[in-house]
Amino acid sequence: MIRVDIETIIMASGAVPSLIVLRERSAGHASDAPLRALSIQTGSFEAAAISRGIEGAKHSRPITHDLFVDTLHSLGARLERVEINRVDAPVFYSTIVLTRDGNDAEEVTVDARPSDALALAVRVNAPIYVEDDVMNRAGTISYHANEHNGDEEFEQFDKFVQTLSPDDF
Three-class SS state of 34: coil
Please report, rounded to a whole number, the percentage of residues in the chain having pLDDT higher than 90. Answer: 50
**pLDDT confidence of residue 124:** 94
Three-class SS state of 104: coil
What does the domain layout of the chain look like in residue ranges? 2-144
* pTM assigned to the model: 0.79
Q: Which CATH class is domain 2-144?
A: alpha beta
pLDDT category of residue 90 using cuts at 50, 70 and 90: confident
Distance CA 132, CA 1 (A): 5
Tens digits of residue pLDDT in 33-76:
778 899 999 988 899 999 988 888 777 888 899 999 999 999 99
Distance CA 123, CA 19 (A): 19
Element (H, E) at 39: strand 36-42
Strand partners, 28: none
